[in-house]
Structure 1
Amino acid sequence: MDKTRIIAIVFLFVSLGLAYFLGSRIYKSINDANRIETMEKRVIDKLSMIREAQIAYQSVNGKYTSDWGKLKAFVDSGQFYLVDKIEHIMTMDYGADSVYIEIDTLGTILVKDSIFSPKRYPNFKTEDLSKVPGSTKNAEFGMWADEIDKSGVKIDVVEVWDTDPVNPMRNEKNESRTKKPLRFGSRTNVTTAGNWE
């Protein structure tokens, strides 16, 4: 065999090895991106459920909670009042309107039956509400709730965040809110919006 043929065979094997290496790296990065997207979708779904529970808790109790035990107990046994409001408007002799409202309580409905119904969430388990989906550390979501002062008015705020993000690019040091771990709410603003929205 002459040198040219040997060099051609060596280059063939090197190029095949390089092609395999690059192909496997691309395939792995695509798989990782798909896995991260799937896991983040599960985390977003769970955060949306927690947000609904917090909003319901606040509407019944007048404030948010930072206690998982209280939130889970509320989801399991809390109730909403079903009310019927009738607004009556009467025009007075001098042209002004007089308004009075009749409020009739019709009954109650369980939070679990209204918000977390089996039809809407077929695999819902209250005890798993605080768990981060897919976490290898069996992590729970972080949850903070308190009152803040906004222009002299006390306002209830809540923030819930992923403590074990699957995406290594998401961390608390990022400047942009959309690059931080998945979360909803804020410690400084009156919002329950998620950073994925």
Structure 2
Amino acid sequence: MTKTKIFTIVFGIVALCLSFFLYYSINSSIEESQRIAKMEARIIEQLKMIREAELSYLAVNGRYTSDWDKLLAFVDSGRFYLTEKTEYVITLDYGADSTYVEIDTLGTVSVKDSIFKKSTWPRFNLSTLPYVPGVEPPTKFDIWADKIEKSGVSVNAIEVKNPKPINPIRDEESEYNTRKPLRFGSKTSVTTAGNWE
């Protein structure tokens, strides 16, 4: 056998090994990206459910809560009042209008039944609501709720975030909000927007 044939066979084997290694490394990084995207989609869904619960709590109680037990009890047994508002306009003798409003309470409806319908949130589970999906050991979302000063007015603010990001590029110190751990709300602004939106 000549040296050319030996080199051809050796380089052929090396090329096959390198191509297999390259394929494997590219395929594994694609699979990892898909896994991260799937996990983050599940975390975003959980954050949206928490946001719905907090907005409902605010509507009924006039503030957000940072206590998971209070929030879970509210979702489990809390109720919304169903009201009907009727506005009456009376024309006065001198041509001006006077308005008065009557509000009638028609009944109540459960928070869980009205907000977390199976058709809207098929994965809703009250007992796992505070926990980051797919993280071991079980880890609760960080929740902060308080009043902040904005333009001399005290307003409600909330921030809920994932303390253990699945994606390694997500860092609390990042200057881009979209690269920070998944969250909604803010400790410095009056918003309930998520950083994925």
- TM tier relative to shorter chain: over 0.9
User: Aligned residue for 1:70?
Assistant: 70
SS of equivalent to 2:19: helix
User: Aligned residue for 2:106?
Assistant: 106
Residue 193 of structure 2 corresponds to residue 193 of structure 1: yes
Choose 105-114 or 92-101, whichever is displaced more. 92-101
Question: Could you tell me how far apart the structure 1 residues matched to 2:159 and 2:87 are?
Answer: 36
After TM superposition, the score normalised by the length of structure 2 is 0.97
How far 1:116 sits from its partner (Å)? 1.0
Structure 1 segment 6-155 matched on structure 2, within 5 A: 6-155=6-155
How far 1:138 sits from its partner (Å)? 1.3
Choose 50-59 or 133-142, whichever is displaced more. 133-142
SS of equivalent to 1:147: strand
**Paired residue type of 1:90:** I
**Paired residue type of 2:80:** F
SS of equivalent to 1:15: helix
User: Aligned residue for 1:169?
Assistant: 169
Alpha-carbon displacement from aligned partner over 1:95-129 (angstroms, at most 9, x marks no partner): 32211111000111110110012332334221100
User: Aligned residue for 2:159?
Assistant: 159
Question: Could you tell me how far apart the structure 2 residues matched to 1:26 and 1:134 are?
Answer: 24
Point out where structure 1 has 5 or more consecutive residues left out of the alignment: none
Question: Could you tell me how far apart the structure 2 residues matched to 1:189 and 1:113 are?
Answer: 31
- Alignment: residue pair count: 197
Question: Could you tell me how far apart the structure 1 residues matched to 2:121 and 2:151 are?
Answer: 40
How far 1:79 sits from its partner (Å)? 0.5
SS of equivalent to 1:17: helix
Percent of residue pairs identical: 56
How far 1:130 sits from its partner (Å)? 0.4
SS of equivalent to 2:54: helix
How far 1:59 sits from its partner (Å)? 0.6
Question: Could you tell me how far apart the structure 2 residues matched to 1:90 and 1:25 are?
Answer: 77
Choose 114-123 or 40-49, whichever is displaced more. 114-123
Point out where structure 2 has 5 or more consecutive residues left out of the alignment: none
Question: Could you tell me how far apart the structure 1 residues matched to 2:15 and 2:83 are?
Answer: 74
SS of equivalent to 2:156: strand
**Paired residue type of 1:159:** E
SS of equivalent to 1:55: helix
How far 1:18 sits from its partner (Å)? 0.6
**Paired residue type of 1:194:** G
